């Protein structure tokens, strides 16, 4: 099962023929922009749209998903310092984790480290493991797109100045301990919360 987020509303993708309470559509037949507009219009009035896209083959679920919207591939980091604080950025008024689009022929791990460095000023990054892949829809130049982000856990001994990349809309960069991170996640995105264990969210 996969979740594609439109703002904080998940679209469920699975090999099940139906999910109780969700409108099921065969993914081959989905008009994605129409579904997205319905979700956004319902969100605007405080309602929840529940969509489930189905295909009997898990591999083909993703193949069809990628055919429905232009795809942007990105890499990002959940970064720990020597004190086990986590690196957060603030963008568009929400707490987020640093991430960005990979460049042509760039390896995804290289992109993830580069984007963290550019967005925060943190250096000396080392990837410790792959965490998760998230999917969310965004709009650019009037067109809906699908962002697929590969998230990596990283560590660093960096203790220098944090520098927000303002031309990317980042207004703050902060190291946050567990208590502060839990608070930040209450003003974050659903796909970011997926990168944290239950005790951060409870």
For the chain, how big is the Rg over CA atoms in Å?
18
> What pLDDT does 86 receive?
97
Q: Are strands 9-14 and 51-54 parallel, antiparallel or unpaired?
A: parallel
Find the domain containing 164 and state its range: 76-201
Residues 55 and 135 in one domain: no
Q: Which of 49-53, 86-90, 183-187, 196-200 has the lowest mean pLDDT?
A: 196-200
> What pLDDT does 199 receive?
66
How does residue 150 score in pLDDT terms, banded at 50, 70 and 90?
very high
Contact 74, 147 (CB under 8 A): yes
Residues 11 and 31 in one domain: yes
What CATH number did the domain enclosing 83 receive?
3.90.79.10
Tens digit of pLDDT for each residue in 94-140?
999 999 999 999 999 999 999 999 999 999 999 999 999 999 999 88
> What pLDDT does 30 receive?
94
What integer is the mean pLDDT of 183-191?
93
Mark which of 30, 49, 68 sits at the end of a domain.
Answer: 68
Q: Alpha-carbon dihedral of residues 87, 89, 93, 94, nearest 10 degrees?
A: -40
Backbone angles phi and psi of 111, in degrees to 5: -65, -45
Q: How many domains does the chain have?
A: 2
> What pLDDT does 201 receive?
63
Distance CA 63, CA 65 (A): 5
Residues 16 and 34 in one domain: yes
Strand partners, 89: 96, 173
What integer is the mean pLDDT of 45-74?
94
Contact 75, 115 (CB under 8 A): yes
């Amino acid at each position: 099962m996969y979740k594609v987020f439109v703002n904080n509303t998940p679209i469920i993708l699975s090999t099940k023929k139906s999910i109780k309470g969700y409108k099921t559509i065969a993914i081959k037949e989905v008009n994605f922009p129409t579904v997205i507009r319905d979700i956004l219009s319902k969100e605007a009035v405080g309602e929840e749209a529940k969509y489930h896209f189905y295909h009997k083959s898990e591999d083909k679920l993703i193949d069809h998903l990628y055919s429905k919207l232009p795809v942007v591939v990105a890499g990002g980091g959940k970064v720990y310092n020597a004190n086990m604080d986590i690196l957060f950025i603030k963008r568009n008024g929400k707490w987020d984790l640093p991430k960005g689009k990979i460049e042509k022929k760039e390896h995804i791990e290289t992109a993830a480290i580069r984007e963290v460095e550019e967005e925060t000023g943190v250096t000396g990054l080392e990837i410790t493991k792959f965490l998760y892949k998230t999917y969310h829809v965004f709009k650019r130049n009037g067109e809906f797109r699908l962002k697929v982000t590969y998230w990596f856990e990283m560590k660093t001994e960096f203790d220098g100045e944090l520098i927000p990349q303002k031309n990317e809309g980042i207004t703050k960069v902060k190291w946050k301990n567990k208590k502060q991170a839990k608070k930040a996640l209450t003003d974050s995105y659903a796909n970011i919360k997926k990168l944290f264990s239950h005790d951060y969210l409870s």
